[in-house]
Amino acid sequence: MKNLFDLLRLMRPYQWVKNAFVFTGLLFGHAWSDANLVTNAVMVFTAFCILSSAIYTLNDIIDIEQDKQHPKKCKRPLAAGLVSVPAAFALAALLGVIGMGLAYSVSLRVLIILVGYALMNIAYSLRLKHVVILDVFIIATGFMLRILAGTLGIGIPPSQWLLLCGLMVTLFLGFTKRRAEIIALTDDKAAHRKVLEHYSPVLLDKMIGVTAAGLIMSYSLYTMNADTMRIHGTANLIYTVPFVMYGVFRYIYLLHHQSRGGDPSHDLVRDPHLFIVVGAWLIATILLIA
């Protein structure tokens, strides 16, 4: 039973919340009343959850030595010696086959997107995570592929505004993740993640500021766009902007004053302010466009 629990920990199920980006097409495309589209979106979400767990497992295999030197990641099953490398490889292969099979059952487009997601993440784990700035753009691209799988993949035309807002929020989260790693790894940070030697706190703070401003402005312009008002039948989405602003500012506060920001999934659950403001934004958005 303990071995099964360790394998489950290796899959990082708490990270599956990130795959909720798949559902943005259903929400902003007014497709929640189409049972077929909802079913396909759920299947795409499940496929991403399974495949992302395979990627996390492969990444832990590759980073096992670096994780042993990290104050928190040293407790991961592979770094702690609780799961063997062959067992981890077998788990990753099984999850990869299941995820791809589920994607193909939805559509060929979804399968192509997931194959691209897998190849990109493998390249990231092997080499590209060491390339400054590009590493964060690859993280953001992973989220953009989730949005595309939940729109193009199941037959919902993606909104250009939706893609722009998605890019801004994921770049913001990517740069805050790197900043949090620098805060946590004050001693020999490059030993854990080589690319960190090319980042400085000042550089990352500037990038966080730029992407935070871009996120707030792009979302604000989206709510006031004529096509947005026509599609959703309301001009009141502008009143959800304060929720977005508060969430961004709260996240920056957590980064600098509570040493968080390295894991949005954990931060969302652990911080009541963040949890409430995200929930309030979601409820207000649904009420306004439904």
Q: Please report the DSSP string for 49-67 in residue order.
A: HHHHHHHHHHHHHHTHHHH
pLDDT in tens, 81-108: 777 888 888 999 999 999 999 999 999 9
Same domain, 133 and 163: no
**Per-residue model confidence (pLDDT) at position 195:** 83
The percentage of the chain sitting over the pLDDT mark of 70, rounded to a whole number, equals 94
172 and 145 in one domain? Answer: no
CATH classification of the domain holding 20: 1.10.357.140
Model confidence pLDDT, tens digit, residues 249-286: 999 999 988 777 667 777 877 889 999 999 999 999 99
Cβ atoms of 21 and 147 within 8 Å: the answer is yes
Domain's final residue, options 131, 158, 185: 158
What pLDDT shows up at residue 53? 93
Q: Are residues 94 and 174 located together in one domain of the fold?
A: no
Residue 216: give the domain boundaries: 159-290
**Spatial distance between the Cα atoms of 155 and 40, rounded to a whole number of angstroms:** 10
Backbone angles phi, psi at 126, to 5 degrees: -80, -35
Number of domains in the chain: 2
286's CB contacts (< 8 A; 6+ apart) are 27
CA distance 143 to 163: 10
Contact 143, 265 (CB under 8 A): no
Q: What is the pLDDT of residue 223?
A: 93
Backbone angles phi, psi at 73, to 5 degrees: -70, -15
Q: pLDDT value at position 43? A: 96
Mean pLDDT for 163-187 is 87
Residue in 137, 101, 103, 106 with CA at minimum distance from that of residue 120 = 137
Which tokens belong to 43? 């299947």
**Statement to judge: residues 261 and 166 lie in one domain:** yes
